[in-house]
Amino acid sequence: MVEPFYAMKCNPDPVIVRLLATLGCGFDCATMGEIDLVLNGLGKELSFSPRGLTHDKLVYANPAKFQNHLEFATSSGVRKTVFDGEDELYKLAKVNDSLPEGQKLELLLRITTNDEKSVCSFSNKFGCPVSQGPELLEVAKKLGLDVVGVSFHVGSGCGDPAAYSIAFDHASRLFQAADQLGMKKMTLVDIGGGFPGDNEGTYRAGMPTFLDIAATVRKAIADFRVKFTADRQLRFIAEPGRYFVSRSTTIATKIYGRKGGMGKTQALYIDDGVYGSFNNVVYDHYHPVPIKLTSALESHDDEESNAQMPTAVFGPTCDGLDQICKQQETMLERAEIGDWLIFKNMGAYTHTASFVFNGYTHIPKKVHCISTVGYDEDSSMSADEDANTRQ
């Protein structure tokens, strides 16, 4: 019912991007670098340009585009992009006029949503209120631009599935407005992202699961089809990010400092922090859960070694902001300098958003593992290939 266009900004690791391309996924790109990776950086067999997938499986989903990024995209055959204001339409019109017939832009009108219950809101930055949509459609018509549909995003970490229903209703109003203006009939709805990376909800208790959101979206699509299927072929796409990759990554960190002695609380200092892979603590409101590596691998009969104590975890910089776990919220077994802590579900918006600070470059050493769950023992893989895969 909904075609996935992976949100590249979530985690552009080429191994992940190549895997998703292998599976037939489309891509939501927001910059020239992301577009170039999908079009030309995935190898001859998977890159979109040689495969002729640029037009159908890639959307330039940034409502405010750098001029040189826009020119690169259009010169590379990218046609689908979004807008949310009159000024962007004039920018797009100038580029569109220079394109040959058959390669003109196909635009999506980005609208605001009710995202106040989401972890990270976007409507404060992108989108136009649905009430202003008809005016923008009229400007697009006068400029000779082809508006093929509507896009929205209910915010990262959706806190209320009803936000999708409301957004679908607003999209239907703009489909009708375009019809009333005598424009080419819209056919595409981009429902954005907001899907959690696990079925338990994300970030805090009470958050909707993916199943909750999916049920709401299915009903909204069914209602939408009743209104428009009779006179057009509808297409629905989405921009999942953390839904695909949150659980794909476990981060391993080493404790290089400790404070607390033999007391009943401890503070641990590890070699990664909020300026590195844990920037999601600040920017994504995430609450990482530390696991002592020996605890994850072994079971201990010694009650004292199993006893947990309030634990604070800090990153390596000399900034008080560089705190990963608060003592009043985190319980952990006693740890020592040289021990390792692991953090699961760290594949979304983590190391990709790190930066240099205080002399730390925060470039993690990556180890890519291939899962052998469901491995076919009767496959034609050689013994050496089998051993390498299982390793």
Residue indicated by tokens 């067999």? 45
Which amino acid, residue 283? Y
- The yes-or-no answer on residue 318 being catalytic is yes
Structural contact between residues 268 and 257, judged by C-beta atoms closer than 8 angstroms: yes
φ, ψ of residue 145 to 5 degrees: the values are: -95, 145
Which amino acid, residue 291? I
Q: How far is CA 235 from the centre of its chain?
A: 21
What whole-number distance in Å separates Cα of residue 57 and Cα of residue 75?
16
25, 318, 325, 369: the active-site residue: 318
Task: Give residue 358's region: left, alpha or beta (phi > 0; psi -120 to 50).
Answer: left
Q: What is the DSSP string of 230-279?
A: GGS--EEEE--SHHHHGGG--EEEEEEEEE-TTSS-EEEEES--TTTGGG
DSSP H helical segments within 11-85, as ranges?
A: 14-22, 32-40, 48-51, 67-75
3-state secondary structure at position 372: coil
Contacts for 129 with CB less than 8 Å, ≥ 6 apart: 111, 112
Structural contact between residues 65 and 89, judged by C-beta atoms closer than 8 angstroms: no
Residue indicated by tokens 């959706």? 158
**145 closest CA partner among 88, 68, 202:** 88
What whole-number distance in Å separates Cα of residue 2 and Cα of residue 222?
12
3-state secondary structure at position 150: strand
What pairing do the DSSP bridges indicate for beta strands 290-292 and 251-259? unpaired
**292 closest CA partner among 330, 342, 252, 251:** 342
| DSSP code, position 327 | G
Structural contact between residues 251 and 277, judged by C-beta atoms closer than 8 angstroms: yes
Structure tokens at 164: 């999708």
Q: What are the catalytic residues?
A: 318
